[in-house]
Structure 1
């Protein structure tokens, strides 16, 4: 894992500005460290010779004060940068998920909660403390070693030889830490997913008397164990880094002390080198100590950037204004992490106004076919054309204006049933909403208030709400294609017949994924999909 992901620097102007300020303040800090060390060495040397030192203590006090101000400014700049970067990334992730040009599966809610919650909180340690210290570790030791080499070459050689040992042990610690941090992050995601799943099904679980305290406790205990293991390793690695730096400074001190006693090195130069030597190791040592604090933030950064790095639709061609023939040829698609094909369609042609039923075994690619037609997925091979234009060349947002979609698990928003039916159709009259609901067999009061989620209505009622949305969309817009995924599952014979009749009478091109024999029988043609 790289200390600084180049993608973050390219994507965030705040990070670039923050790094520039860190370099500038790091240079000033290095100059102040060298200046203070020289003044202290000069004071000690003059006191031994009995010379006056009236102004030097004032200069030392002023330098220490200025160094404190620089450290405070560095902290303020870093904390503000961390806050801005978190806000930018959160906004970018939300915009990306809502971007109609996005291609690929959406992440699960559990993963998003973990990333945008605890993952983003870890940015305070990563952007706010680790990255500024990384700049100091690159600037201060180099400046200190250069000044020491000008004063005493042997001490500089000792520091140059021993300083990489800290880097070597940091690398070894990083190799050990990586697996622990990845396991802790995986435990955090499992905890978030488990908790989200429990909340989604809480009503059903309570109805059947299933208690979830034990499951949540077990998942939480695994997260706690992984966290404590990571902390134990962090403390042990800090001890190792402290020991190495202490021994290295001791080597410099012994060398300088012996040469002062033998008269080969001036007292002023010896004091100057002794004061500067620890400063060569301190920034690097602090990077090692902050590494554990930053690892979770770096991991979250990589996850977020991976989430944002995906294909996008680049097409700009306007879709056909009316019903057109849809042709799928040689379509092949494999989802990441799977070796088997997710979709395999050699030839499929859907004529305008046709009612087509898509059948096949579960996992055969039926829902994936709808995702491809909606532009949520991009084929690995083959093509989809609408009229004479490839789907990949169409303006995807404009294309979706021609489509009414009924997913397998429709969602509700907080409000009335009428508002849920009219979702996305501002200005729809009460008569239009009632007509669409009636044709979809939604024999419920449209003034009934429902909450966000899926617990206020049965599965069949939610599907009828989604069908009513599709009918209203067809009647009020230029939508001419209806894509439905198991729209009649959970419906009785009467409501199923009502829904199928409304779809046939809509005049739109209908492509329905189904396992129901009644729906298959109502179709003009049946196509089997088997990946």
Structure 2
């Protein structure tokens, strides 16, 4: 483990202020330590020589003690403040990074593990800031200064301290190697415990149906026991580490004390200098000894920050690789009006997951004013194409908007324009509704700064969710994950949310992934009719679906994973959908 990860200073600006103010406090504390040792030793010598100790030295000694107490309190305040702000900054950056990482990244990780990292894991930074880093600051500042003062007053004691001081870091390194594996294992088991418990809670109804709920008690108990054993192993190593460091420090101070005692007896060293050295020697070892003792207490926080830094680095890399992955580029135009010349062009799209190609050299065009449907067998890459359109995965090739929404003046001066598709251009509903514990209206207007009740009503109507069903009323309050709605109802609310975004923000492209998989034929027909109205307004509507109703209503069908190079589609008439024969090139 690095003493201080430089990425902490980059991602959490509060850490820089913490170190700056902590350095000032550390220097002040060091001055108080030296002043205290000198005042005590000189007062004792004066008392032995018959001088009254109740002079200015005693007043100064009380002042130094009070000042050091205040400095210790300020160091604790600085630590608490730095930890609180740093945790907040890291959490905010991760929450901003998660949309850039996208669902494809989250699908490869346990949501419980990510949640544990951002909650319990980052909360462990309190110990890291409160105990570990202050001692690290004192080690970097106080220890060299105190050793220099010892050299100045007693060269022999300074040499002894300088030679024995490296024993503590050597023990820290040896014990750190032994405990690193145990600490990582403990953190992984905490993630397994969190994920396992969440899986059981989410799948409890299924487990009850198949009579396997009782077995999960044994499984959870087993995982909990593993975590307990791992934690106790880390604690045993921590106590062993503390014992070894204390022993090394005590023996080092004992060497200084024996040397000072022998020279005091022989008369080679004055009493005042000897007392001064004996008081300073333990203080020179204390910060480094405390760093070793708090090393294990800070391990959870450091492990959590490693996960956080990996998320932030992954988000940065994803944006750099995927040219189309933009949070909000371009200005979305109005969704209404004539835009028959606008189209979404996908050219040589390739999506790779590790060394596996989910999509290879896919090309297609999706024109405004017609319903486009992507079909193909499961695993052919349909969802990966959608993820690339949304900028959720790195991809090769290009995804561009051509001509859509440009003003007549711009078209006249620049011709038909093309630019990369940005997230501000797309409204989307995935296969999982992803509803919140809120009203139906609040779920539909998610992300809207100025929600419009009229627009909510229209979006629900276009999504075939306007039936006189109390469950779909905008004021109806849902439970966690949309509890209170059936699968089909939740699906339609998610589609209404995408439509609301498209209408409110003027998104030029609407992408729906299996929007009718849980719907009956009548409701599906109403949904297709609602999408037909958006198509008639000139929006690019792309639907991924296995349903025959969508294929029949589409003016443009793109088959993914088909061995043919082209096919001809003669679509059935659909509301707001132009009919005719179109040839589709698929590579």
Question: Normalised by the shorter chain, which TM-score bucket?
Answer: 0.7 to 0.9
* Residue in 2 that maps onto 1:87: 88
* Residue in 2 that maps onto 1:357: 373
User: How far off is 1:451 after superposition?
Assistant: 1.9
Deviations 1:487-524 (A, max 9, x none): 22233444444434443454143322233455445443
Q: Which deviates further from its counterpart, 8-17 or 196-205? A: 196-205
Preserved contact between residue 357 and residue 520 of structure 1 (Cα < 8 Å): yes
Preserved contact between residue 460 and residue 496 of structure 2 (Cα < 8 Å): no
Q: Return the structure number with greater relative CO, CA threshold 8 A, min gap 6.
A: 1
User: Would you say 1:466 and 2:494 are equivalent positions?
Assistant: yes
SS of match in other structure, 1:64: helix
Distance change >3 Å, CA 197–CA 251, structure 1 → 2? same
Distance change >3 Å, CA 191–CA 65, structure 1 → 2? same
Q: Distance in 2 between matches of 1:22 and 1:419?
A: 46
User: How far off is 1:15 after superposition?
Assistant: 1.9
Q: Distance in 1 between matches of 2:308 and 2:255?
A: 45
Of the candidates 467, 489, 510, which is equivalent to residue 482 of structure 1?
510
* Residue in 2 that maps onto 1:318: 331
User: Would you say 1:509 and 2:558 are equivalent positions?
Assistant: no
* Residue in 2 that maps onto 1:68: 69
The aligned runs of 1:42-61 (5 Å cut-off) are: 42-55=42-55, 56-61=57-62
| Matched residue count | 520
User: How far off is 1:472 after superposition?
Assistant: 5.4
The aligned runs of 1:3-22 (5 Å cut-off) are: 3-22=3-22
Q: Distance in 2 between matches of 1:63 and 1:122?
A: 33
Q: Distance in 1 between matches of 2:455 and 2:430?
A: 25
Deviations 1:394-435 (A, max 9, x none): 5x33x23xx3x2210112334555665565562326863563
* Residue in 1 that maps onto 2:171: 169
The aligned runs of 1:72-471 (5 Å cut-off) are: 72-97=73-98, 105-106=105-106, 108-206=110-208, 209=211, 210-211=213-214, 212-309=216-313, 310-311=315-316, 312=319, 313=326, 316-318=329-331, 322=339, 324-335=342-353, 338-379=354-395, 381-387=396-402, 388-391=417-420, 394=422, 396-397=423-424, 399-400=425-426, 403=427, 405-417=428-440, 420=443, 426-428=452-454, 432=458, 435-438=461-464, 444-445=469-470, 446-447=472-473, 449-471=477-499
Q: Distance in 2 between matches of 1:141 and 1:332?
A: 57
User: How far off is 1:125 after superposition?
Assistant: 0.5
Preserved contact between residue 474 and residue 506 of structure 1 (Cα < 8 Å): no
Q: Distance in 2 between matches of 1:415 and 1:279?
A: 58
User: How far off is 1:235 after superposition?
Assistant: 0.6
In the superposition, the TM-score normalised over structure 2's length comes to: 0.80
Q: Distance in 2 between matches of 1:151 and 1:419?
A: 73
In the superposition, the TM-score normalised over structure 1's length comes to: 0.87
Preserved contact between residue 358 and residue 366 of structure 1 (Cα < 8 Å): yes
User: How far off is 1:463 after superposition?
Assistant: 1.9
Preserved contact between residue 349 and residue 359 of structure 2 (Cα < 8 Å): yes
Q: Which deviates further from its counterpart, 270-279 or 360-369? A: 360-369
User: How far off is 1:4 after superposition?
Assistant: 1.6
Q: Which stretches in structure 2 are left out of the alignment for 5+ residues?
A: 320-325, 403-416, 563-586
SS of match in other structure, 2:543: strand
User: How far off is 1:240 after superposition?
Assistant: 0.7
Q: Which deviates further from its counterpart, 88-97 or 156-165? A: 88-97
Q: Distance in 2 between matches of 1:477 and 1:244?
A: 67
Q: Which stretches in structure 1 are left out of the alignment for 5+ residues?
A: none
Preserved contact between residue 245 and residue 289 of structure 2 (Cα < 8 Å): yes
Distance change >3 Å, CA 454–CA 225, structure 1 → 2? farther
User: How far off is 1:374 after superposition?
Assistant: 1.7
User: How far off is 1:167 after superposition?
Assistant: 1.0
User: How far off is 1:103 after superposition?
Assistant: 10
Q: Distance in 1 between matches of 2:521 and 2:466?
A: 11
Deviations 1:93-148 (A, max 9, x none): 345446x7989735753134212321132121011221111111111111111011
Q: Distance in 1 between matches of 2:384 and 2:299?
A: 37
Q: Which deviates further from its counterpart, 63-72 or 192-201? A: 192-201
Q: Which deviates further from its counterpart, 54-63 or 221-230? A: 54-63
Q: Distance in 1 between matches of 2:89 and 2:482?
A: 32
Q: Distance in 1 between matches of 2:441 and 2:383?
A: 28
Q: Distance in 2 between matches of 1:164 and 1:195?
A: 46
Preserved contact between residue 502 and residue 508 of structure 2 (Cα < 8 Å): yes
Distance change >3 Å, CA 18–CA 478, structure 1 → 2? closer
Q: Distance in 2 between matches of 1:194 and 1:495?
A: 37
Q: Distance in 2 between matches of 1:416 and 1:41?
A: 73
Q: Distance in 2 between matches of 1:418 and 1:527?
A: 36
Preserved contact between residue 460 and residue 466 of structure 2 (Cα < 8 Å): no
Preserved contact between residue 327 and residue 385 of structure 1 (Cα < 8 Å): yes
Q: Distance in 1 between matches of 2:272 and 2:390?
A: 77
Preserved contact between residue 441 and residue 499 of structure 1 (Cα < 8 Å): no
Distance change >3 Å, CA 430–CA 235, structure 1 → 2? closer
Preserved contact between residue 416 and residue 450 of structure 1 (Cα < 8 Å): yes
User: How far off is 1:238 after superposition?
Assistant: 0.6
Q: Distance in 2 between matches of 1:12 and 1:473?
A: 33
Q: CA RMSD in A?
A: 3.1
